Amino acid sequence: MATAPSAKLTPLLKDELDIVIPTIRNLDFLEMWRPFFEQYHLIIVQDGDPSKKIRVPDGFDCQLYNRNDVNRILGPKASCISFKDSACRCFGYLVSKKKYIFTIDDDCFVAKDPSGKEINALEQHIKNLLTPSTTHFFNTLYDPYREGADFVRGYPFSLREGAPTAVSHGLWLNIPDYDAPTQLVKPLERNTRYVDAVMTVPKGTLFPMCGMNLAFDRELIGPAMYFGLMGDGQPIGRYDDMWAGWCMKVICDHLGLGVKTGLPYIWHSKASNPFVNLKKEYKGIFWQEKAIPFFQSVSLPKECSSVEKCYLALAGEVKSKLGEVDPYFIKLADAMVTWIEAWNMVNSPGEKPAMTSLPNATSKK
């Protein structure tokens, strides 16, 4: 007698998480992710020519937004959303109605752990977000909330409750996330090291955040996850996630929130052109030597008790301090303010953004 097929298990946070994907191409890469993504809702942010048709494999519950949608939904405030740059992904954060966001690039595939088992990156991100961070005191066994780990001898009991985790930053096997000069001198280098560890980025410490394998609690830190003005018409690119990471970390430190990095890994399949990257990055390579000391020293007022208030205060500091470095930062600071205005407008009660239909995607009820 044939046995009935077993029902699919309901994945973690199925109705509380959106997957945001920026793209300029057909999303065939989703086939490899189908076992892990199929039951979640996807937000696809199409960059570039809005008349181009993007093909999405059947069976995914998804919404697609292109530049026409961005302009229609945000009106004049659409100026804060980058064009011809993956920074456009933050529009997906803006229109999501879910508590959690996972964002991934379309050249990232399912990685395998050293045993050969496929890694469910989304599940690991969720575990990272649902357990506290150790922001104030480093645990030498890394994440003490993981199964099989705990706080080591000498760890203060008063700090063992930890802090709420706002961001989970994942890593990559194969093509490492290098800047253009490093790509040029190490064109064949590949990351083959799988480190089975998750750790909290300590309070007061900045880090280079990569947006291609990233999850966050939208309710805790969403308004700070603005990927800046990059790409078309801007003097800089490939610093969108860096900028968001620096701003986010300063605000997390101020509000007592945690950031984790480490697991999960994805397989980064494609190395971008280092010469094209250098053209995008070269001003940023100089500017970061001014920007990072700024973020290391900036102090937010005590009365900044929300992410929005913190972000607006930070925008003011960017304008007054980094505006001296280059006029671009004055424009960027204004865009940061516009972003918060757009966030509040789109996320006001009763607001429901319209989206482009996907004729080649199945919309689940």
Share of the chain above pLDDT 70, in %: 93
102 DSSP β-pair partners: 19, 215
pLDDT in tens, 301-313: 999 999 999 999 9
pLDDT at site 271: 80
The answer as to whether 6 is a domain residue is no
What distance in Å separates the CA atoms of residue 221 and residue 200, rounded to the nearest whole number? 16
Confidence of residue 270 (pLDDT cuts 50, 70, 90): confident
The count of domains in the chain is: 1
How far, in whole angstroms, is CA 329 from its chain's centroid? 22
The 10 Å Cβ neighbour count of residue 195 is: 11
What distance in Å separates the CA atoms of residue 121 and residue 124, rounded to the nearest whole number? 5
The answer as to whether 11 is a domain residue is no
- Helices and strands (DSSP H and E) totals, the chain: 10, 9
Reply yes or no on whether the pLDDT at 364 is more than 90. no
Of 258, 228, 225, nearest to 240 by C-alpha is 228
Q: Please check whether residue 252 is in contact with residue 166, taking contact to mean a CB–CB distance below 8 angstroms.
A: yes
The answer as to whether 5 is a domain residue is no
3-class SS at 181? helix
The answer as to whether 336 is a domain residue is yes
Q: Do β-strands 41-46 and 61-65 pair in parallel, antiparallel, or remain unpaired? A: parallel
Q: Please check whether residue 199 is in contact with residue 112, taking contact to mean a CB–CB distance below 8 angstroms.
A: no
The answer as to whether 163 is a domain residue is yes
Identify the DSSP state of 176.
-
Phi/psi of residue 175, nearest 5 degrees: -80, 115
DSSP E strands, 237-296: 258-268
pLDDT in tens, 180-210: 999 999 999 999 999 999 999 999 999 999 9
- Nearby residues of 117 by Cβ (< 8 Å), 6 or more positions away: none
pLDDT at site 10: 81
pLDDT in tens, 118-135: 999 999 999 999 999 999
Q: Please check whether residue 42 is in contact with residue 21, taking contact to mean a CB–CB distance below 8 angstroms.
A: yes
The answer as to whether 363 is a domain residue is no
Question: Nearest-5° angle of CA 328, CA 220, CA 307?
Answer: 45
Model's pTM, two decimal places?
0.94
The CATH number for 278's domain is 3.90.550
What distance in Å separates the CA atoms of residue 195 and residue 313, rounded to the nearest whole number? 38
The answer as to whether 43 is a domain residue is yes
Confidence of residue 7 (pLDDT cuts 50, 70, 90): low
The answer as to whether 169 is a domain residue is yes
Q: Print the domain residue range for 259.
A: 17-347
